[in-house]
Amino acid sequence: MLWLALHFPSLALDARTRGASEPGPLVIASSAEANAVVVACSPAAQRRGVQAGMALAAACALDSRLNILARDTAAEQAALERVAAWAGQYTPMASLAPPADVLLEVAGSLNLFGGLTRLCESIERGVAELGYSARVACAPTPLAAQWFARAGHAAKIRHHDALRHALERLPVVVLDLSSQVAVLLEDVGVRTVGDVLRLPRDGAARRFGQRLIDDLDRALDRLPDARRPYAPPRRFMAALALPAPVHEAEALIFAARRLIAELCGLLAAGGNGVQQLRLTLSHEDHEDTTHLVLNLVAASRDPEHLVNVLRERLGRLQLAGPTTTIALASDSLVPLPARSLSFLPAPEDHSETVSRLIERLRGRLGDAAVKGIGLAADHRPERAWRAGEPGRDTVPDEATRRAPRPLWLLAVPLRLAASADTPCYEGPLTLLAGPERIESGWWDGADVTRDYFVARTPAQSLLWIYRERRDVGAWYLHGFFA
Amino acid sequence: MAAQALEEVLNHPAIWRGSECARVAAPSIPTGFAELDAVLPGGGWPAGALTEIHCERPGAGELQLVMPAAARLTQSGRWLTLIAPPYIPYAPALVSHGVRLSRVMLVQTPAAEESVWACGQALRSHGCGAVLAWLERAPERSFRRLQLAVENNDAVALLFRPGRAASASPAALRLHVSKSQSRTLVRVLKRRGSDVPAPITLDLHGRLAGRSGPARVAMPLLPEEGWLQSSRGGGSRIEESV
* Residues B242, B54 contacting (CB under 8 angstroms): yes
Q: Which residues of B touch A351 (CB under 8 A)?
A: 127
CA distance A363 to chain B (A): 11
**A33-57: pLDDT as tens digits:** 878 888 888 888 888 888 888 888 8
> Which of A361, A355, A386 is CA-nearest to residue A372?
A386
Q: What is the per-residue pLDDT for B242? A: 35
Highest mean pLDDT among A62-66, A344-348, B138-142 belongs to A62-66
- Give yes or no for residue B225 having a pLDDT over 90: no
- For residues B33 and B36, what is the distance between their CA atoms, to the nearest angstrom? 5
Contact between A407 and B64 using a beta-carbon 8 Å cutoff: yes
Q: What is the per-residue pLDDT for A94? A: 93
- Give yes or no for residue B229 having a pLDDT over 50: no
Whether B113 contacts chain A with CB within 8 A = no
For the CA atoms of chain B, what is the radius of gyration? 19
How many interface pairs between A and B have CB atoms less than 8 angstroms apart? 177
List helix spans (H) across A48-175: 56-62, 73-86, 116-130, 142-150, 160-168
Residues in chain A: 482
Q: What is the per-residue pLDDT for B213? A: 34
Report the share of chain A in percent with pLDDT over 70.
95
**B96-154: pLDDT as tens digits:** 888 888 889 999 988 888 888 888 888 888 888 889 998 887 777 788 888 888 887 88
Least confident of A141-145, A337-341, B179-183: A337-341
Burial string for A414-448 (b: 16+ CB within 10 Å, else e) reads: eebeeeeeebebeeebeebbbeeebebbeeeeeeb
Q: What is the per-residue pLDDT for A350? A: 65
pLDDT interval class at B91 (50, 70, 90): confident
Q: What is the per-residue pLDDT for B217? A: 34
Q: Which residues of B touch A352 (CB under 8 A)?
A: 127
Identity of residue A104 = L
Q: Which residues of A touch B210 (CB under 8 A)?
A: 432-433
Q: What is the per-residue pLDDT for B226? A: 35
Residue A22, CA distances (Å) to A39, A79, A259, A326, A440 in order? 19, 20, 17, 17, 67
Q: What is the per-residue pLDDT for B206? A: 64
Least confident of A281-295, A354-368, B24-38, B214-228: B214-228
Whether B54 contacts chain A with CB within 8 A = no
Start-to-end CA span in chain B (Å): 42
Residues 351-390 of A with CB under 8 A from B: 351-354, 356-358, 360-361, 364-365, 368-375, 381, 384-387, 390
Q: What is the per-residue pLDDT for B15? A: 66
- Residue A373's Cβ-side half-sphere holds a number of Cα atoms within 13 Å equal to 25
- For residues A32 and A51, what is the distance between their CA atoms, to the nearest angstrom? 18
Q: What is the per-residue pLDDT for B237? A: 38
> Which of B31, B35, B24, B70 is CA-nearest to residue B191?
B24
**A96-109: pLDDT as tens digits:** 998 899 999 999 99
- Give yes or no for residue A415 having a pLDDT over 90: no
**B31-79: pLDDT as tens digits:** 888 888 888 887 888 888 888 888 888 888 888 888 888 888 888 888 8
**B165-213: pLDDT as tens digits:** 666 777 888 888 888 877 888 888 888 776 777 788 888 776 555 443 3
Q: What is the per-residue pLDDT for A121? A: 93
